[in-house]
Chain A
Amino acid sequence: MKTMLLLEDGTEFKGESFGFAGETVGKIIFNTAIVGYQEIITDPTNFGKILCFTYPLIGNYGVNEEFNESERVWVGGLVVKEKASFYSNWQAKLSLEEFLKEKKVVGITCVDTRALTIKIRDDGEMWGIISSEGKSKEELLKRLTDKRKGKESILKEVSVKEIIRFKGKEKRIVVIDLGILKSILRQLHNLGPEVILTPYNTPAKEILKLKPDGVIISNGPEDDIELSKVIDTTKEILGEIPLLGISVGHLIIAQALGARLTKLKVGHRGLNYPIKNKDSFKGEITFQNHSLTIDESSLGEDIKIAERNLNDDSIEKLESEKFKFVSVQYYPLSPGLYEIHPILKEFIEMIKG
């Protein structure tokens, strides 16, 4: 079915329907990972986004729900160059297309994704609409503008609805769940402590009542109006209990300490972002998914910038003895999905004192 992707500036990309045929509006982002489509579309951080994969062949190894990073698909739409008409992998259970249809996710294929990527790179992230309904350009633009105005919080959707406990030994960690990835939870589980997931709007008092040895503010959507609530909660517990911020959690801690955020012209989304400690030559290649970063000039004293992005010098890791926290902009996943990332180990050590 003929399908169109229209950008807010009026640029059209013609293609074919992929997945669920329908209409979707969202901010367009691109991700440069060559593998991991299923994990990326089930990452709650991508809620409502129209995601463009720069890798042109998507769906080759099918889908297996075992690999979902959360309970559902969060992206609002998908843009690919070529959908695999056949998948091949011993673990695959169904095709990506079937999966998208089942989850009612609208996608478009046969798009010059490189042209789209370069446009976003040069002009900045923008909104778009995918539609397979054969509407006129004007009508689509109007729908795009209308949809864009509505600014509802999505945190309540990505976060747990009630407190959930995972049994463990010795230490107790509370995770303020803004849409935590399963692969991070799995690592925590393997580390051994008791883990308690709390809804994003759990007040500080309630959190403290759980007597955590440490609190993790998870990854999640970074441009949500309700995040201010989490910032307020964070302010109350900062310095009281050891904190770990992951991705948006990292931004929340910085804001709780009075820092401002700035927007990257092009978000960091992919598997190949280098970070480095400024005092050594040792670094790490990290998985990332964010568009906002901390304005360094607004950062207060007693906070140490421990690691930076090697490409653009942006802040990747903060730590502070005074405020008892450590936070990272990247996803702590890089040593392999089933291995424990050093930052999580570091946090557990911090808790143990």
Chain B
Amino acid sequence: MPKRTDIKKILIIGSGPIIIGQACEFDYSGSQACKALKEEGYFTILVNSNPATIMTDPEMADATYIEPLTLKTLEKIIEKERPDAILPTLGGQTGLNLAYFLKKEGILEKYNVESIGASIEAISKAEDRELFKVSMQEVGVGIFKSGIARSVREGLEISENIGFPSILRPAYCLGGAGNTIVYNREELEVSLAKALEISPVHQVLVEESVLGWKEIEFEVVRDYADNVIIVTSMENVDPMGIHTGDSMVVAPSQTLSFKEYTDFVNLCRKIIRKIGVTGGANIQFAQNPEDGRIFIIEVNPRLSRSSALASKATGFPIARVAAKLAVGLSLPEVMNQITGKTTSFFEPTIDYCVFKICRFPFEKFSTIQRVIDTSMKAVGEAMSVGRNFKEALNKGIRSMENQRFGFGCDGKDRISDEVLKDPDQNLLEKIKEKIRIPNDERLFYIRYGLKAGLTTEEIYNLSKIDRWFIENMKELIELEEEIKLSNHLNNLSIDLLRKAKENGFSDRQIGFLLNCPEEEVRQLRERNNVRAVYRLVDTCAGEFSSIRPYYYSTYETENESIVSNKKKILILGGGPNRIGQGIEFDYCCCHAAFTLREKNIESIMINCNPETVSTDYDTSDKLYFEPLTVEDVLNVVNLEKPMGAIVQFGGQTPLNIAIPLEKAGVNILGTSPESIDIAEDRERFRQLLHKLALNQAENGTATSYQEAKRIAKEIGYPVIVRPSYVLGGRAMKIVYDEEDLESYMREATEASPEHPILIDKFLEDAIEIDVDAICDGKICVIGGIMEHIEEAGIHSGDSAMVLPPYTLTEEIIQRIREATKMLALELKVKGLLNIQFAVRKNTVYVLEVNPRASRTIPLVSKIIGVPLVKLATKIMLGETLEKLGFTEEKKIQHVSVKESVFPFIRFPGTDPILGPEMRSTGEVMGIGKTFGLAYAKAQLGAGQKLPLKGNVFISVRNEDKRKIVFIAKKLSDLGFKLMATKGTAYVLSQNDLEVEIVPKLYEERPHVIDKIKSGQIDLIINTPQGKATKIDETHIRSTAILYGIPLVTTISGAEATVTGIEALIKRQLEVKSLQEYHSQ
């Protein structure tokens, strides 16, 4: 069916900031969709609040709106652009929900806009629990006993019929947010109340729990002609009870029989036809491992994290195809670009095993238990490919960059083989518990269990992980023990070495087992020609030759990666997303690839993150889906022999291996690893600043607690302590006294074992500044100067920022500019650099210099309309800024505010205060004429529902009491009613403000928590008491998060919030596309 001509303009809704459950997979799907629709000649309008995305690059869509994803803004954009259709299936749950509410509010009718890809009916059938139940009954697939609760009372009635345990699933929620397992009536009452609150439609499905069943997923695509294809099956290694986003997953399914597989396929076809999706859908099933009974869990009538994984696992670009199907094309009409011969109407078949493993942020939320369950907690994932499961498993583990180099025996096992040989009862019980209760280290505890003599059956009974996977793990352990028996590398037979490599062992593991450095293992391999070969991800298991495949390594007989004689450059990606390193760096890597293509140089990307645009089949000329370890990268280098490697765009990951790569002869392009080391090494850095006569906060480096104590005393508390070479403020802490320091030193050693601890004087009440600049070694041009809204001491990744600065004098800004240029030239930067400054009492301090792409590069590029990464790439190729025509800092006419988004809701009980350790997962941008407007937009984008009227609860620490008065007065003038705890209320009433005293937690009732819960508070301003945060404060803040009440924890944040509220009350929010901003 030819594409539709009755629609011309299509609005694509993005998914907003990166949050747990909704990460850069939607940038990947949205970008593919933009390209696909442009290809077909449609006018595309894109809206997304997330500036770090490729999709919001001004070239991707015809009109790009970086605006908050709210109904109001969407209506404004629709009113302005008058699209014929919206495509809501590419923006995750956010996009889908927005489309649903646009319809519900009558906005789609009003402007005559059609929802394509998934009609509103289809969305409702999949998302509305009641409609879904009916549809599935009609299809004839088993459904769990369940009922929809709209109140706690209803829930209790339902549970009488279902029994315990049962699962609560709030409707229209993403990534299992709010999903809970309850084991008794009491838990049901408590959890259901919260779940009802979380669901935007106040509906919760109370469902029978099938903990321990198998979880099987299918990715299914359907077109208007009713053709249906299965892209792939996926089997969750972790059974039901763990969110699929947190599970280890294999593709294709490994333990389904043919009959079971075809039964699933048959059900999938019926289900997708029943729901009526045109495009991709993800269908999740639970299967009883004892009798094969199949139940449906859910259908996502849209692109999802799983569909990104399925795309990368098979080579089938689901998002691209889905976008084409949405405009009426049929599967047979869309070509398969991987083979170049066949169409999209076929089912990919693969000849390898794909493994997905997740990365969790538990180290950032130390107060909570490291337990995983039905509410997703992973922040990132890596995909690995092998010719068997064992190889994929080992590669997957080392892709995680958790300092692990395979399934144990890498020198990092918590429990040694010696201890496991004869484990005492306590240890055995601990191991069993760690296997029974899902957690992020379970995989390794299975290893310990096997080593301690637990049988496959015992481990199965504890974990319900299919015996097949456990047996494979056992085979790895057997192989490891065989290697160990060789005792010395010289005695290792080449057959055994080859077998180890075929099963994914890293050189590091083999080296550990045989007591030698990994380099020696590598040399032995090379001498004996045991080398990695590369096979294809080609969608067809080799049945057809392919024109655009991508590659994975294995140890077999034939290498299929043909090396071209073109000039080529390696780009090292960022690996799995984690807090501190995410989509921003992927954006940079993609831009590098685009630039190389422009320059007719072959771009070779290495990355292992299936969610990203950088691992899309057409981003680079050649893609290697590989872990980013020295071994795996060198394997590619040995084959491809690139003229150089770009390491400054992928975040900390490539930088961590830059020096070993350089030692192995890889030409590092741009800023030299030497300069990077000067910037990272405290001592060398201090000398540099001294030479340039720049100020630095007093500091020192300690390798022992005694030394740290001495240095801290000399400098004077409070101090900031942190390990060197880390990203995202990992283990960074403000320390107020010696006791604090001691406990820190005890806990932080794990953060980065090879590097010492850095101690800096904490500059209290300083303003922090981020500068992004570009330098070609001769001149340095400022990209953007951003002023943090929160004071220094709060991680720059978590702080809100304003561009241009809004409180600094021109004189200070000039000093910052000069310092930036001096540092760039002194460090001989070739490419990008980011500098953090602090300004205190008119003194400018240099906090740190990062001679690499920063988290803010995509944002700055979009604000100033200059593709900084592209320029930086060209500089690395030898061009100059002068030649590139970028010699002067851009003056911008509007104000942009970046705001961070936090995952506190996923970690109940965490204190949501800001500090030097980064905890945000994503960011949004607001652009406006004034600071207030931009800030308000940023807040809306970040999901803070800034109130325009109502009650404000204020409780601040003593130091802030003076400053809060002005803020409170302004709020009062704007019509808000003030509530405060006794101390704060006293100060406010002394200043002629009317204020209601609200009791603290242990005073009387109703206290502040009661008021939050009963919806009497609309905004909370609560600054933490310095060192030890009081328990009831934590309770107030975590309750605010749970109930979605806007929470401000700094005075500067409160000032900005008030300005934002004022702007919202007094002015209209306007929408404007990036293209319009740039053409000004």
Contact = CB atoms under 8 A, between A and B. Distances in A.
Interface of A: 30, 32-39, 54-57, 60-61, 64, 67, 81-82, 84-92, 112-115, 117-118, 121-122, 266, 270-274, 276, 280-285, 310-311, 333, 335-339
B557 A35 contact: no
A310 B342 contact: yes
A155 B289 CA distance: 41
A86 B254 CA distance: 12
Contact of A115 (B252, B544, B558): B558
Given A86-B467, A115-B556, A335-B266, A33 B542 contact: no
Contacts of B544: 121, 311
A85 B471 contact: yes
B705 interface: no
A337 B263 CA distance: 7
Given A87-B468, A272-B349, A282 B226 contact: yes
B349 A36 contact: no
Given A57-B254, A87-B468, 20 more contacts: A32-B351, A35-B253, A64-B257, A86-B456, A86-B471, A88-B468, A90-B292, A113-B351, A114-B535, A114-B556, A117-B351, A117-B542, A271-B349, A272-B346, A272-B349, A280-B225, A281-B223, A285-B347, A336-B263, A337-B263
24 contacts: A32-B349, A32-B351, A36-B261, A38-B258, A54-B541, A56-B352, A61-B256, A81-B388, A86-B467, A89-B255, A89-B257, A90-B289, A91-B257, A114-B542, A121-B544, A272-B349, A274-B332, A274-B343, A283-B331, A284-B227, A310-B343, A311-B343, A336-B265, A337-B259
Interface of A: prevailing SS? loop
Contacts of B223: 281
A341 to B, nearest CB: 11
Nearest to B264: A336
A339 B292 CA distance: 18
B332 A283 contact: yes
Nearest to A61: B257
A229 to B, nearest CB: 33
Nearest to B556: A112
Contact of A60 (B255, B331, B475): B255
B330 interface: yes
B545 interface: yes
Interface of B: 1, 223, 225-227, 229-230, 252-263, 265-266, 269, 289-292, 330-333, 341-343, 345-353, 387-389, 456, 466-468, 471-472, 475, 535, 540-545, 556-558, 560
B332 A281 contact: yes
Q: Which of A37, A84, A122 has its CB near the most chain B CB atoms (within 10 A)?
A: A84
Q: Which of B262, B535, B543 has its CB near the most chain A CB atoms (within 10 A)?
A: B543
Contact of B262 (A87, A88, A89, A337): A337
A33 B349 contact: yes
A52 B368 CA distance: 51
A86 B472 CA distance: 8
A87 B466 CA distance: 10
A310 B259 contact: no
Given A81-B387, A121-B543, A311-B346, A114 B468 contact: no
Contacts of B346: 272-274, 285, 310-311
Contact of B257 (A55, A67, A284): A67
B258 A36 contact: yes
B251 to A, nearest CB: 10
Contacts of B252: 34-35, 55
A88 to B, nearest CB: 4
A88 B467 contact: yes
Nearest to B471: A86
Contact of A266 (B269, B292, B342, B543): B543
Contacts of B262: 333, 336-337
Contacts of B332: 274, 276, 281, 283, 310
Given A86-B468, A89-B255, A115-B556, A56 B353 contact: yes
Given A32-B349, A81-B388, A61 B255 contact: yes
Contacts of A117: 351, 541-543
A57 B388 contact: yes
Contacts of B253: 35
A94 to B, nearest CB: 13
A18 to B, nearest CB: 15
B256 A35 contact: yes
Contacts of A35: 252-253, 256-258, 261
Contacts of A122: 545
A13 to B, nearest CB: 8
A114 to B, nearest CB: 5
A121 to B, nearest CB: 6
A334 B387 CA distance: 28
Given A55-B351, A114-B542, A82 B257 contact: no
A337 B261 CA distance: 10
A151 B955 CA distance: 94
Given A54-B351, A57-B388, A39 B258 contact: yes
A90 B259 CA distance: 12
Contact of B389 (A57, A113, A118, A310): A57
A276 B332 CA distance: 8
B573 to A, nearest CB: 26
Q: Which of B256, B343, B349 has its CB near the most chain A CB atoms (within 10 A)?
A: B349
Contacts of B349: 32-34, 54-55, 270-272
B1004 to A, nearest CB: 60
A281 B266 contact: no
B43 to A, nearest CB: 25
A330 to B, nearest CB: 13
B1 A337 contact: no
A311 B388 contact: no
Nearest to B266: A336
A88 B292 CA distance: 12
A336 B228 CA distance: 14
B555 to A, nearest CB: 10
Contacts of B255: 60-61, 88-89
A115 B541 CA distance: 11
A114 B266 contact: no
A90 B227 contact: no
A276 B345 contact: yes
B347 A271 contact: yes
B257 A285 contact: no
A57 B353 contact: yes
B460 to A, nearest CB: 9
A340 B389 CA distance: 35
A56 B227 contact: no
A270 B347 CA distance: 10
Contacts of B254: 57, 60-61
A114 B558 contact: yes
A54 B542 contact: yes
B345 A283 contact: yes
Contacts of A276: 332, 345
A281 B543 contact: no
Contact of A56 (B351, B456, B558): B351
A55 B350 contact: yes
Contacts of A85: 471, 475
